[in-house]
Structure 1
Amino acid sequence: MTDVLAGILPESVLATHWFMILSSFVAINTVMYVALAVAKILPKLYPRDWLPRTYTRAETRSIYPDTPEGEQARREATRPRHERTD
């Protein structure tokens, strides 16, 4: 990079302390923006989906009756957000 800037800026400016601090800031800023862009591309993770579910009730408190249709509706309502089709 200094070879490219050597034609634009004099070497006395490139060797100064403030220019090294400025170039370090620009480098760190670039790395942070790349990391944020990669994080936005990746799908959202739900750590709660990896943990076992230990909270089950002894009896049903659902508005759906204990029928096959009610069981299907209950399963749909308790699926994780990223797996729902609605």
Structure 2
Amino acid sequence: MGVLLPDSILRNELIAVLAAFVAINTIVYVTLAVAKILPKLYLRDHLSARNRRSETRSIDPDAPI
């Protein structure tokens, strides 16, 4: 016998579907929370720099490239 509900209710198929939905929903929200905590990754930072200028066009001649 269950603590709050009888065993017959806890073994119901509808309760099993509801428990699976809650489990999947929890995993999705935990994944979103962890993704929000981590720093953002930009694809351009990891691609080659062939589209960047070889020399600066700044007014300051000693500016970094």
Q: TM-score, normalised by structure 2?
A: 0.79
Identity score, percent: 46
| Pair 20,58 (structure 1): closer, same or farther in 2 beyond 3 Å | closer
1:33 aligns with 2:29: yes
Question: Could you say what secondary structure the match of 2:39 adopts?
Answer: coil
What whole-Å deviation, never above 9, does each CA across 1:39-71 have from its counterpart, x for those lacking one?
A: 0010000111111122256887x4x44xxx145
Task: Please list every run of 5 or more consecutive structure 1 residues that lacks an aligned counterpart in the other structure.
Answer: 76-86
Task: Please list every run of 5 or more consecutive structure 2 residues that lacks an aligned counterpart in the other structure.
Answer: none
Specify the code of the residue in structure 2 equivalent to 1:39.
A
More helix by share: 1
| Pair 27,59 (structure 1): closer, same or farther in 2 beyond 3 Å | closer
* CA distance in 1: counterparts of 2:3 and 2:55, whole angstroms: 79
Aligned positions of 1:24-63 closer than 5 A: 24-56=20-52, 62=57
